[in-house]
């Protein structure tokens, strides 16, 4: 499961002109959503553009989950039975997915 949070580089707050990870869609150029509905629409576009098959939750524009977990700009979390089992923080502008995968597999009773 993924959670769509606040826009990191909204054009009305902190614009950048990179399209490095955006395939042939060009530069990402969106304003920071002012309503939950606007954020839902952007999250839907993200899911469609990247062909995500993972369920996507969307944080409110009050950024409740982001503020609670410290998820900005990127975070990887594993939950089990409603409890936080793993929290990964970015290092050098990236987050390692393997440790989260290993925790999730262990919780599921599987191995790497």
Look at residue 112 and tell me whether its pLDDT is greater than 60.
Answer: no
Same-domain check for residues 64 and 103: no
pLDDT averaged over every residue in the chain: 81
How many domains, in total, are found in the chain? Answer: 2
Q: Percentage of the chain with pLDDT > 70?
A: 83
Report residue 71's pLDDT band, with 50, 70 and 90 as the boundaries: low
Q: Which of 69, 70, 67, 47 is CA-nearest to residue 57?
A: 47
Domain residues for 12? Answer: 1-69
Q: What is the pLDDT of residues 10-55, one digit of tens each?
A: 878 776 766 556 667 666 778 899 999 999 999 998 898 888 887 8
39 and 90 housed in the same domain = no
Of the pLDDT bands very low, low, confident and very high (cuts 50, 70, 90), residue 111 is low
Task: Report yes or no on whether pTM surpasses 0.75.
Answer: no
Query: 59 and 6, same structural domain?
Result: yes
Same domain flag for 41 and 1? yes
For residues 61 and 80, membership in a common domain is answered with no
Q: How far is it, in rounded angstroms, from Cα 60 to Cα 111?
A: 35
């Amino acid at each position: 499961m993924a959670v769509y949070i606040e826009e990191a580089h909204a054009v009305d707050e902190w614009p950048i002109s990179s399209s490095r990870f955006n395939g042939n869609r060009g530069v990402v150029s969106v304003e920071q959503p002012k309503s939950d509905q606007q954020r839902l629409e952007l999250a839907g576009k993200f899911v469609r553009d990247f062909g995500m098959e993972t369920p996507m939750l969307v944080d409110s524009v009050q950024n409740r989950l982001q503020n609670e977990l410290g998820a900005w700009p990127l975070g990887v979390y594993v939950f089990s039975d409603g409890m936080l089992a793993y929290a990964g923080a970015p290092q050098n502008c990236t987050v390692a997915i393997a440790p989260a995968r290993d925790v999730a597999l262990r919780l599921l009773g599987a191995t790497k």
